Amino acid sequence: MNYNEKYSFSNIECNAHLLRDLQKISDNLKEHEWAEKMKGLINNTYKEREKAISEVKEIFTDEEIENFFKKFNKIVLEGIASNKEEDSYYGNEERKFNKHY
């Protein structure tokens, strides 16, 4: 949900909520390694962002953005594949997460 008019996204979830959902999947569906990978990607990117800000960099390079999305897309595809067969409450929650991507 957007709370700031400057951003035009129709549906976006903050990283804190996303990380909490990923942790729930990771805790309850231990064989779904994709959730841990996504948490790592988000956390590492956040650290890289903080480092860039401290170095007074305003944006990631095109190459950095492209690399992020390559990793992101690979992890999402792993998640989609791993939850197709899951028939549990948490599997259903995981499917809801994957529908966002």
Question: What pLDDT, in 10s, does the model give residues 8-27?
Answer: 555 556 788 888 988 988 88
Q: Cα angle vertex 79, ends 33, 3, to 5°?
A: 105
With respect to residue 1, please indicate whether it lies within any of the assigned structural domains: no
Look at residue 83 and tell me if it is in a domain.
Answer: yes
Answer whether residue 41 shows pLDDT above 70.
Answer: yes
Q: Examine residue 5 and state whether it is found in any structural domain, yes or no.
A: no
Structural domains counted in the chain:
1
Name the residue range of residue 62's domain. Answer: 15-99
27 lies in a domain? yes
**Cα angle 34-89-46, degrees, rounded to a multiple of 5:** 35
| Residue 48 domain-assigned (yes or no) | yes
Is 95 among the domain residues?
A: yes
| Residue 53 maps to a domain | yes
Q: pLDDT by residue (tens digit) across 55-74? A: 988 888 999 999 999 999 99
Q: Which residues touch 79 (CB under 8 Å, ≥6 apart)? A: 32, 34, 35, 38, 94, 97, 98
